Amino acid sequence: MVYTRKNQRNLTSAERKAFVSAVLELKRSGGYDEFVRTHIDFYVSDGEDKLRVAHMAPSFLPWHRQFLLAFERSLQRINPRVTVPYWDWTRDNSPASSIWSDDFMGGNGRRGDLQVMTGPFAYAHGKWEISVNVTEGRFLTRDMGRPRDPIGLPAPADVARALDDPVYDVAPWNSTSTTGFRNKTEGWTTGSGNARFRNHNQVHRWVGGVMVGAASVNDPVFWLHHAYIDSLWSRWQAAHPEAKRYLPDVPPPEGDPQHARVAALNEPMPPFNVTPSALLDHSTIYRYA
Ligand code: CU1
Ligand code: CU1
């Protein structure tokens, strides 16, 4: 049965509750922290001379598609009716948006230590202690909009600029690729400060706190953000039916600086035994509403 991923703003309160309960149960059982660990383990930058599959690479989109599917299957083992909702941050674009309500993601961090004090993932409520992290931090933090160095959320025009690019990705297949749907969506630019971050990266930075960096999975909004990014990949495919759906289609040859550092169309993306090619079409698994 093809299931539906919904816009989080359209969930009923029962659906919100079911999603949150499944996430909390996965956390309680230890399964959630395995996802945090995987994301940290595969947080490889393009300054490192090794294979990078998750970020700063063409497989940014299929790697996170598989990561989301694995997470969603874990939730569905707890409650088969649960799917991962998506957060359209071009529309629900303020700390007052309903996504941050007490029965869903909870609110902003408090002044000072940025600790989230409301909602199901507040440390003080006893169900969300961060145990796998890149810092000593044990509680969920957020710093929406970075008031000391303000950043906004991407606008519809920013998303449109990515969707309008007819090429999936271009050499050198990393954070310096200046064109191509993949990096326009992932969001590395040559700018400095906040201007370095667009679309996907800009949203991580806008939420702030643990959403910045390798351990960002510790904020459950990570999944809602990435479900929206995943939906943009679907929209890009639909908008460019003639385009090659993934590049590079063959591995960069020996002598190419990206040789053995990126996954081509038919190469597996560790830790998953799955290729980008196998993930191009999600229509037999789920759809976006
Ligand atoms: Cu990631
Ligand atoms: Cu991300």
CA 76 / ligand 1 centre spacing (Å): 21
CA 64 / ligand 2 centre spacing (Å): 8
- pLDDT > 90: what percent of the chain? 99
Q: Give pLDDT, residue 266.
A: 98
CA 39 / ligand 1 centre spacing (Å): 6
CA 260 / ligand 1 centre spacing (Å): 20
CA neighbor of 176 nearest in space, from 260, 258, 270, 269: 258
CA 86 / ligand 1 centre spacing (Å): 15
For the chain, give every domain's residue range: 3-288
Return the half-sphere exposure (C-beta side, CA atoms, 13 A cut-off) of residue 43: 15
Would you give per-residue pLDDT tens digits along the chain (289 residues)?
899 999 999 999 999 999 999 999 999 999 999 999 999 999 999 999 999 999 999 999 999 999 999 999 999 999 999 999 999 999 999 999 999 999 999 999 999 999 999 999 999 999 999 999 999 899 999 999 999 999 999 999 999 999 999 999 999 999 999 999 999 999 999 999 999 999 999 999 999 999 999 999 999 999 999 999 999 999 999 999 999 999 999 999 999 999 999 999 999 999 999 999 999 999 999 999 9
Q: Can you tell me the distance from the alpha carbon of 210 to that of 203, in angstroms, rounded to the nearest whole number?
A: 12
CA 17 / ligand 2 centre spacing (Å): 24
Nearest ligand, CA of residue 230?
2
Quote the Cα angle for 109-111-113, to 5°: 75
**Cβ-Cβ contacts under 8 Å for 42 (sequence gap 6 or more):** 52, 53, 54, 63, 270, 271
CA neighbor of 7 nearest in space, from 185, 227, 232: 227
CA 229 / ligand 2 centre spacing (Å): 9
Q: Cα 123 to chain center, whole Å?
A: 23
CA 216 / ligand 2 centre spacing (Å): 7
Tokens of 100: 């941050």
Q: Which residue has the tokens 């309680």?
A: 28
CA 99 / ligand 1 centre spacing (Å): 21
Nearest ligand, CA of residue 201?
2
Q: Give pLDDT, residue 82.
A: 98
Secondary structure of residue 5 in the 3-state scheme: strand
The long-range contacts involving 190-198, CB below 8 angstroms and separated by at least 24 positions, are 193/149, 194/146, 194/149, 194/150, 194/151, 197/151, 198/154, 198/158
CA 108 / ligand 1 centre spacing (Å): 21
Q: Which residue has the tokens 């479900």?
A: 227
CA 201 / ligand 2 centre spacing (Å): 7
Tokens of 56: 């700063």
Tokens of 124: 């003080």
- pTM equals 0.98
Cβ atoms of 96 and 39 within 8 Å: the answer is: no
**Cβ-Cβ contacts under 8 Å for 144 (sequence gap 6 or more):** 95, 108, 109, 206, 207, 208
CA 123 / ligand 1 centre spacing (Å): 23
Nearest ligand, CA of residue 212?
2
Cβ atoms of 204 and 216 within 8 Å: the answer is: yes
CA 106 / ligand 1 centre spacing (Å): 21
CA 64 / ligand 1 centre spacing (Å): 7
Q: Give pLDDT, residue 22.
A: 98
Architecture of domain 3-288: Orthogonal Bundle (1.10)
Q: Can you tell me the distance from the alpha carbon of 202 to that of 205, in angstroms, rounded to the nearest whole number?
A: 5
Return the half-sphere exposure (C-beta side, CA atoms, 13 A cut-off) of residue 71: 30
CA 95 / ligand 1 centre spacing (Å): 23
Would you list the DSSP string of 171-183? Answer: TT-STT--SSHHH
Q: Give pLDDT, residue 287.
A: 98
Q: Give pLDDT, residue 71.
A: 98
Nearest ligand, CA of residue 55?
1
**Cβ-Cβ contacts under 8 Å for 82 (sequence gap 6 or more):** 18, 19, 22, 72, 75, 76
CA 102 / ligand 1 centre spacing (Å): 26
CA 156 / ligand 1 centre spacing (Å): 22
Q: What is the dihedral sign for C-alpha 237, 233, 160, 83?
A: positive
